[in-house]
Amino acid sequence: MALTREQLAQRVAQELKDGYYVNLGIGIPTLVANYVPEGIEVMLQSENGLLGMGAFPTEEEIDADLINAGKQTVTMSKGASLFDSAESFAMIRGGHVDLTVLGAFEVDVQGNIASYMIPGKLIKGMGGAMDLVAGADNIIVTMTHASKHGVSKLLSQCTLPLTGKGCIKKVLTDLAFIEIKAGKFHLLERAPGVSVEQIIELTEGELVVPDVVPEMSFA
Amino acid sequence: MALTREQLAQRVAQELKDGYYVNLGIGIPTLVANYVPEGIEVMLQSENGLLGMGAFPTEEEIDADLINAGKQTVTMSKGASLFDSAESFAMIRGGHVDLTVLGAFEVDVQGNIASYMIPGKLIKGMGGAMDLVAGADNIIVTMTHASKHGVSKLLSQCTLPLTGKGCIKKVLTDLAFIEIKAGKFHLLERAPGVSVEQIIELTEGELVVPDVVPEMSFA
Amino acid sequence: MAGFDKVVTTYEQAMAGLTDNMTVLAGGFGLCGIPEGLIAQIKKMQTKGLTVVSNNCGVDDFGLGLLLPDRQIKKIIASYVGENAEFERQMMSGELDVELTPQGTLAEKMRAGGAGIPAFFTATGYGTPVAEGKEERQFNGKNYILEEAITGEFAIVKAWKADRYGNLVYRHTARNFNPMAATAGKITVAEVEEIVEPGELDPNEIHTPGIYVNRVIKGNFEKRIEQRTVRQK
Amino acid sequence: MAGFDKVVTTYEQAMAGLTDNMTVLAGGFGLCGIPEGLIAQIKKMQTKGLTVVSNNCGVDDFGLGLLLPDRQIKKIIASYVGENAEFERQMMSGELDVELTPQGTLAEKMRAGGAGIPAFFTATGYGTPVAEGKEERQFNGKNYILEEAITGEFAIVKAWKADRYGNLVYRHTARNFNPMAATAGKITVAEVEEIVEPGELDPNEIHTPGIYVNRVIKGNFEKRIEQRTVRQK
């Protein structure tokens, strides 16, 4: 069974470590905050100028001056700090964020990522995504493995304009957890009930499959 | 009569305008603060991170955390702001300071300035001087016109390592107020009782002398 | 106005000198921390041919989006321009020139403009459409592209508090691009919620020193929220 | 230490991992805002061959000057190095390698190092000895030189207050180079006058967000004054 959005978030959350500063992109990545493992503390960085993003506000707490990068109203967690956009991207570009989670349209075996533009269709801009992929060492891309029509999004070469070149090492799809190294995809884990054959079929780029591919586990 | 240190400061102060942000170098420039004309307000920038430098403190007011660029204890004037060194030099480099006053060993007809190093003798470093001369549009150099031995400091070409290239337009010496343009010194004013001949004699670089050279006046 | 008193009382004074074809830098992230009254004044003035530098371009009926229907903006430099139908129409038809710039690069370009740094290298955008026509260079084996600074004839920013000398303090994430925009305008105008006397702001806590600010006006802000998101108590 | 609690209680813990030949960035301007106890700890550790990046190098018997008698510093990158006889002796004799760097360029190099900017252009130093061996380029008819970023294995900084999460607040001109140094160390250690609980510092007024800080220690500061200058009442 392909992972649900919630399961994708849950699996990413297993990669969190105590004391991590984390930037979560819009969409599925945002959900990761709901699955921080017990006994672990992370601080969320929002690139519009907040380190220590808290939960959504109650109706009474809503403050127009306090939003996240998705322009949603948020709160601050204890020990939060506020800063301007130059400082925020100094953190990001300077590699101070421990983990970045973001979505994509396509990734390829060279670690390239396309996530911001579909020529002639979707031209809204890259926002902070190009800075995030260029600045972070540790990035997890979350996406569906293939389109609704069964077209793979894990490619030998991205077809859409790139957001970043050679910067992606880990991809979590609804079917598999994959590492990118030395110009190949490497299958690390498969979604519960998903066969290796299914993954191979829906992966266009070269995929290295070890003898044993463990299923993801959700405690 | 050659100007005294105090008169040099007084003459520079006549160049101040209401609302000017001013950076005063160490030595004579520092004295300028004592001669701000009546009815005019200026704010002093100290490049170690203070805009709105006030008077020296009383014994009771002394605060080790509040010094100027000359490492002297100071106070803050009303409406002062504090910032880090990067921000301070952003102001300076970005041309936001209205007037910079600093000393020099030599200047030349190309607007070059040498003020920080005498090879083999004085190698203490340039501090903020290179940033100040490169960043400011409006700079007044204050210096003695010649050495004690009568060697001119207004040269056709600087002999010492440069602090900045082509950035000086105004020089106030103990003998004269001089403008630099189009590769020549231009005599604007002379110190009271100092003859044009004296100035010509002690100016090694090409000096343009108008028919009438007014004496400086000190109200 | 005398000395360092930068307070003006009318929006006409606040935006005096703005003329056609100028470049205007605007603070704000989405609709958060935008100089609402200054934007409204630009609409009123009907200034045309503007190049606007701002992370976003508002929405159809608020923020910088207000300058679109009368075609006041010739070109916009922004990182994200969704949520605006008229914007999309003008962009697609070629009436509006859009230069998409990564958010961090945009912030750094404005900071550089204010700080006298004409250009800097960044890894952001290397190997992407953003890098086209730009110099590429390796440092320590990593690839970077050269990005140039941005300055403007005007900067319009929104702050929480100002003193009369133009020292500014921002609140929460309404800070965003405002401090950098403030440094990079030849004339910087700050619209603020509250004006206090010099000395009332703690010098240690001033975000934008008054040296960057030319005019200060007290505004009334709607502070529209784009994504009102709440949790249950 | 668990989670974000960065407080350590001994100077050994604070400087653990510092070894010979590392690069150490130090905050401070003259003797103002220097991490006195961390410097003393480096002296105690007798670490050798250090490259120190700091605006100044203390005086003979205080601040970074303490590391000179035992020849712990191999190279210093600074803007001003007067007022230190032993320093001058070592420099003149060639025992100490000194790279004089303009103050604003030094600040910007550290900021760039922390911000992932490998190099930037500046007019500062153009046509001077500082420009030797550096690329020159014109932008808009003005001359600039290319300066590269600085980072270090360690950064040692002095702040006024910290919370346990490493958020820092500086006081008055003791801020100076500390915030930039803090961003550019692989391990950044902050020595502070007071440690408070997370939440006690106003998030709007934090100068250095805790993300840049690895360790925090409470120090006792002598705060020596170099030029005690007073006026008569």
Taking only the tens place, the pLDDT of each residue in B1-19 is 899 999 999 999 999 999 9
Q: Which secondary-structure segment (H or E) carries C107?
A: helix C103-115
Mark whether B47 is an active-site residue: yes
What is the pTM assigned to this prediction?
0.97
Residue of chain B nearest D84, judged by CA positions: B124
Q: Which chains border A (3 or more CB–CB pairs < 8 Å)?
A: C, D
| pLDDT tens by residue, D182-229 | 999 999 999 999 999 999 999 999 999 999 999 999 999 999 999 999
What is the average per-residue pLDDT within B186-192?
97
Chain D residues with beta carbon closer than 8 angstroms to that of C169: 204
- D63: DSSP letter: G
- Among C111, C93, D126, A59, CA closest to B131: D126
- B15: phi then psi, degrees, rounded to nearest 5: -85, -5
Q: Is the pLDDT of residue B50 over 60?
A: yes
What is the average per-residue pLDDT within A24-44?
91
Tell me which of B15, B38, B41, B47 is the catalytic residue: B47
Predicted pLDDT at C1: 43
| Interchain contact, A163 vs C128, CB within 8 Å | yes
Q: In what order do the strands lie in the sheet with A154-155?
A: A113-114, A106-108, A154-155
| pLDDT tens by residue, B67-114 | 999 999 999 999 999 999 999 999 999 999 999 999 999 999 999 999
Q: What angle do CA A82, A88, A94 make, to 5 degrees?
A: 140
Nearest to D118 among C117, C119, C139 (CB): C139
| pLDDT tens by residue, A151-204 | 999 999 999 999 999 999 999 999 999 999 999 999 999 999 999 999 999 999
What is the average per-residue pLDDT within B146-168?
97
CA gap A45, C4 in Å, rounded: 37
C210–chain B Cβ distance below 8 A for any pair: yes
CA gap B159, B156 in Å, rounded: 9
CB A191 within 8 A of CB A2: yes
Nearest to D176 among B49, B62, B163 (CB): B49
What is the average per-residue pLDDT within B29-58?
94
Average pLDDT across chain A, whole number: 95
CA gap B49, C48 in Å, rounded: 40
What are the residues facing C6 on neighbouring strands? none
Chain C residues with beta carbon closer than 8 angstroms to that of A126: 79-80, 100, 102-103, 130
Does this complex have an ipTM over 0.90?
yes
| pLDDT tens by residue, D90-112 | 998 999 999 999 999 999 999 99
Contact: chain A with chain B (3+ CB pairs below 8 Å): no
Chain A with chain D: Cβ pairs closer than 8 A: 67
Q: How many CA atoms lie within 13 A of C141 on its CB side?
A: 0
How is residue D124 written in tokens? 């500062």
Predicted pLDDT at D233: 67
**Which residues 195-214 on chain C approach chain D with CB closer than 8 angstroms?**
203-205
pLDDT band, residue D166 (cuts 50/70/90):
very high
Predicted pLDDT at C84: 86
Q: What is residue C9's three-state secondary structure? A: coil
Nearest to B134 among D55, D123, D227 (CB): D123
Predicted pLDDT at C233: 67
What is the average per-residue pLDDT within D123-141?
98
**Residue D118 Cα, gap to closest chain C Cα (Å):** 6
Tell me which of A47, A106, A189, A204 is the catalytic residue: A47
Handedness of CA A150, A155, A159, A161 (dihedral sign): positive
Chain B residues with beta carbon closer than 8 angstroms to that of C3: 18-19, 40-41
Distance between alpha carbon A184 and the CA centroid of its chain, in Å? 19
Give the other-Cβ count within 10 Å of A119's Cβ: 9
Nearest to C199 among B78, B83, B94 (CB): B78
Average pLDDT across chain C, whole number: 96
pLDDT band, residue B219 (cuts 50/70/90):
confident
Max CA pair span of chain C = 55
CA gap B186, B207 in Å, rounded: 6
CB B84 within 8 A of CB D177: yes
Q: Is the pLDDT of residue D1 over 50?
A: no
| Interchain contact, B48 vs D29, CB within 8 Å | yes
| Interchain contact, B163 vs D227, CB within 8 Å | no
| pLDDT tens by residue, B206-217 | 999 999 999 999
Q: What is residue D70's three-state secondary structure? A: coil
What is the average per-residue pLDDT within C14-42?
98
CB B114 within 8 A of CB B105: yes
**Residue A134 Cα, gap to closest chain C Cα (Å):** 5
Nearest to C29 among A48, A83, A123 (CB): A48
Give the other-Cβ count within 10 Å of C232's Cβ: 6
What is the average per-residue pLDDT within A90-101?
97
| pLDDT tens by residue, C164-210 | 999 999 999 999 999 999 999 999 999 999 999 999 999 999 999 99
Compute the CA torsion angle D171, D176, D179, D185 (nearest 10 deg): -130
**Residue A199 Cα, gap to closest chain C Cα (Å):** 29
Give the other-Cβ count within 10 Å of D35's Cβ: 29
| Interchain contact, D144 vs C118, CB within 8 Å | yes
Handedness of CA A108, A112, A116, A118 (dihedral sign): negative
